Amino acid sequence: MSQLPTPHQYQILTFGCQMNKNDSERLESIFRGMNMLPTDSSENADVIIMNSCSVRQKAEDKMYGMARNFAHLKKRKPNLIVGITGCMPGRDADGRMKKKLQGVDLFFPTQDMVFLPKWLGELNPSMRMMEDLDKDYLALRPTIQKKSQAFVTLQTGCNHFCTYCVVPFARGLERNRPLRHILDEANHLARGGCVEITLLGQIVNHYIAPDPRHWSTQNPYVQSDFARLLWEINQIDGIERIHWTAPHPIFMTDEVIDALTLPKQVNFLHLPVQSGSNAVLKRMNRRHTREMYIDLIATIREKIPHIALGTDIIVGFCGETKEQFEETVDLYKTCNFDISYTAQYSTRSGTLAKKIFHDDVSRDEKKRRWWVLQKIMEETVLKKNQLFVDSTVSVMVEECSAGWCTGNSNEMKRVRFKGDPPLVGSIVPVQIFKAEEWMLHGIKN
């Protein structure tokens, strides 16, 4: 009896945001379609794909370092195929990055992943080809990592050209997925046991359905496609929680704010502000002002008084004075955020900021400003978390080991309590008895 050939193995290394994670789940589907097996070991892999992030120089430097290591590995394993996708290839218009990367066989923007089977077959004819893939990579169904939680991408790319941001260059202009695909995917996930969906988009609340005839319910009262989509996903049986990221303040219309009160909506909103100074916001081309943002938060809190709020802030942007940074500190305190992802500005080639401004805030000063906000955040979140003590929160259980379970509450607070693995994937009530900055401790009711 002839033996079946050993399946080829692949390793996907993912860096950066949730959008990249969701794209890696699509890559995973391509490899599985080729009857290949996943591996965590680069030594065992026949194909290694790095899904790169370009948001900071540090992230790109990591890719160069890893590519160097894999170039060494290729000396021992000459048939190894190494590829890089994600943001780096997307923004390498002049080919400079590719030139600097050693031993990389495939360097392709995310949307070109549909050609992967063809390219792999050309590099190694023993890698089985599958039938032609849909030309639209977003139509590939992701292989989800956890049955109970999944990302659903609504759009990719961005038209806004904030002066510091690489996204419009790395991912191109905004492209919205057909509504039909999104609803099919959400229904498919629900049938497979998914209870929590995270909707993803660069400006998720700017989603515009390219195929409006596919709305499954008549809703003449809601004009915003994004708000309407939230209404529709709320109707899907099995989905218990809906979360979305990242919205832009200028598209937080009354309809979108109203949708925050839908029954399956999590009690959390991540709304990037980037700076509390109008002068800096203008240089960033953010198109909103400090006053607009503060008013927006007040309106949201009027409707949902106990909503938890997160934001993104960049400190040390070109020309940011100490006084302008103090305006950000003041905004942080006024908005009383639960969490902030604060970044020290790092100049990115290709962006408008790199071309027209000067990265003139010193590294030490950027670090100092980062720590100021970090300290305020830790104090604020501790105070806010203490309000949960003696109350019951509902927790989506993500993992349980050695008798302890963890998961996120509806407010996206991490919660830890005693429990066993069968709880994974369910939503359970937990009474909180102790609060720390980044963890609530409780007992399952």
Contact residues for ligand SF4, defined by CB under 6 A: 158, 160-162, 165, 167-168, 202-203, 248
Distance CA 422, CA 340 (A): 33
- Min dist CB 21 to ligand SF4, Å, is 16
Backbone angles phi, psi at 122, to 5 degrees: -70, -40
Nearer CB in complex with ligand SF4: 74/248: 248
- Min dist CB 206 to ligand SF4, Å, is 9
Nearer CB in complex with ligand SF4: 156/409: 156
CB-CB contact of 426 with 390 (8 Å): no
- Min dist CB 150 to ligand SF4, Å, is 22
Nearer CB in complex with ligand SF4: 288/369: 288
333: tokens are 């305190």
Nearer CB in complex with ligand SF4: 47/167: 167
Nearer CB in complex with ligand SF4: 8/206: 206
- Min dist CB 157 to ligand SF4, Å, is 8
Which is nearest to 345 in space by CA: 325, 330, 326, 331?
325
Residue burial 226-261, b: 16+ Cβ < 10 Å; e: rest: bbbbbbbbeebeebbbbbbbbbbbbebeebbbebbe
Half-sphere exposure of 50 (CA within 13 A, CB side): 29
CB-CB contact of 404 with 416 (8 Å): yes
Distance CA 266, CA 245 (A): 12
Which is nearest to 423 in space by CA: 408, 442, 405?
405
Nearer CB in complex with ligand SF4: 55/432: 55
Residue type, 5: P
- Min dist CB 203 to ligand SF4, Å, is 5
Nearer CB in complex with ligand SF4: 142/168: 168
- Min dist CB 276 to ligand SF4, Å, is 16
- Min dist CB 87 to ligand SF4, Å, is 11
Provide, for the chain, the percentages of residues in helix, strand and coil under a 3-state DSSP scheme, each rounded to the nearest 5.
40, 20, 40
